[in-house]
Amino acid sequence: MSRLGEFLAPLGKTPLLVSDDVVWGILGQRATDSLRTAQLPVTRERFGGIPTAAEVTRLVGVIERTGADVIVALGGGSTMDAVKAAGFLAGIRWVTVPSVASTDAPTSALSVIYTADGAFEEYRFFPKNPDLVLMDTQLVADAPAAFLAAGVGDALATWLEARATRQAHANTMAGGLPTLAGTALAELSWGVIWDNALPALDAVRDHQVTPAVEKLVEANTLLSGLGFESGGLAAAHAIHNGLTAAHQTHGLAHGQKVNIGSVTQLVLEGAPTQEIRDFIEFTTRVGLPNTLTEVGLSVDDEDDLRRVAEAATVPGETIHNMPFDITPDELVSALKSIERFSRTVRSEAHLPAPVQYVAHQVDTH
């Protein structure tokens, strides 16, 4: 963070920093000092909290008013989604400075746009990736470990989805068929996470940066970011997008909802039972939800589950990258099935039973 100005100087003369008040409270002084040292002007705009189409338009107005030539997102996935979309529309450069490793949004050339209620609205694709992705692993270690755990949920899906996309010969988010390279990065991310997530999370609970933390941050951010974009998304993210249509899930992190998508995708694939068991045990240890209960839903919420399934299977959703067709009925059944099976696996492994989630705030990506 102390070198932010040094990295921004070659990219523009009038940067616009965008962050919410919490992140600015933590990073504002360091960012200001760093830009001043690099003889750059310091202009900061408050981020509205949800990457809606209106928020993107508002930020474009700020870019035009301030004459900024590079826009910088300081914060999490929501801030980055809004900033990338605004930078593209305004025709200037964009930079991401993730304050947490909670999603794989930082590296990609796309944004996810939500409604003001926090429901998925659309993917927006850009002709280029960010000009700079700058991460300070001490910041990740200073933040609550729950952010890093959510990032694990987002990143574990990457290999499951890339594997399915490859099998289906479907297109990636970057366009065109997956390359061996993109798919290999997705698989590498999976392996690094299984080897490092648990010790890394413990280190971050004590705000320590260890080699495991460094590796996990790279897996959550760079490997998963390149892996999903160049390897392809499939059912897990479509199910995440579907879950945002149920108000009960609002307030959960992106990666938490994605993990429900991953378990459900494994069920839909008819994956080997041991593979599903291992995934449930591991993600429980990481602290990720793998039951409906933990995302505010239950097997009795027939109407809500149907709405989730309908939203997840609309034309154009990435669930159609799976190597077989999935109907809303099949998806409802798969979603319902994870409740009892995850409870059984957790009980047999002497892991904690799920705790009911109760939504109390507006969704953030």
C-alpha distances in Å from residue 51, one per residue of 78, 111, 151, 312 = 6, 9, 18, 20
Q: Closer to Zn ion at the Cβ: 131 or 154?
A: 154
- For tokens 């149907």, the residue is 306
Which of residues 45, 136, 154, 269 is near Zn ion by CB under 5 A?
Answer: 154
Closest CA to 363 of 201, 262, 260, 241: 241
Token readout for 329 is 């009925």
The residues that are catalytic are 154, 237, 240, 254
Nearer to Zn ion, 220 or 293 (CB): 220
- 60 vs 243, which CB is nearer to Zn ion? 243
Give the distance from CA 13 to its chain's centroid: 30
Shortest approach of Zn ion to residue 189 CB, angstroms?
Answer: 12
Smaller CB separation from Zn ion, 45 or 161: 161
Q: What is the DSSP letter of 135?
A: -
Residue 233: CB minimum distance to Zn ion, A: 8
List CB contacts of 232: < 8 A, sequence separation 6 or more.
161, 162, 164, 165, 166, 170, 171, 172, 173, 178, 182, 318, 321
**Shortest CB 198 distance to Zn ion, Å:** 21
Which position has the token pair 């099949």?
Answer: 330
Q: Does 45 bind Zn ion (CB under 5 A)?
A: no
Helix (H/G/I), strand (E/B), else coil: 124: strand
Site residues for Zn ion, 62-101, by CB under 5 A, read none
Report in angstroms how near the CB of residue 247 gets to Zn ion at its nearest.
20
Q: Which stretch binds Zn ion (CB under 5 A): 150-158, 188-196, 280-288, 316-324?
A: 150-158
C-alpha 283/C-alpha 317 separation (Å) is 25
What's the closest the beta carbon of residue 11 comes to Zn ion, in angstroms?
26
Supply the minimum distance, in Å, between the C-beta of residue 84 and Zn ion: 14
> Quick one: 154 or 317, whose CB is closer to Zn ion?
154
Interacting residues of 179 by C-beta distance below 8 A, sequence separation 6+: 230
Q: Measured from the CB of residue 239, what is the shortest distance to Zn ion in angstroms?
A: 11
Closest-by-Cβ residue to Zn ion is 154
3-state DSSP assignment of residue 291? coil
CB 239 within 8 A of CB 264: yes
Toward Zn ion, which CB reaches closer, 154 or 339? 154
DSSP for 268-329 reads: HHT--HHHHHHHHHHHHHHT---SSGGGT--TT-HHHHHHHHHHHTSTT-GGGGSSS---HH
Cα 222 to Cα 228: distance, rounded to the nearest angstrom: 10
Q: How many residues does the chain have?
A: 365
**Sign of torsion, CA 180 182 183 184?**
positive
Query: Taking contact as CB under 5 A, which single stretch among the options 18-26, 39-47, 151-159, 335-343 is the one that binds Zn ion?
Result: 151-159
Which run of H or E residues covers position 24?
A: helix 21-37
Closer to Zn ion by Cβ: residue 81 or 154: 154
Q: Which part of the chain contacts Zn ion (CB under 5 A), choosing from 54-62, 154-162, 276-284, 318-326?
A: 154-162
Q: How many residues bind Zn ion (CB under 5 A)?
A: 1
Is there a contact between 294 and 357 (Cβ–Cβ < 8 Å)?
A: yes
Beta bridge partners of 18: 45, 73
Interacting residues with Zn ion (CB under 5 A): 154
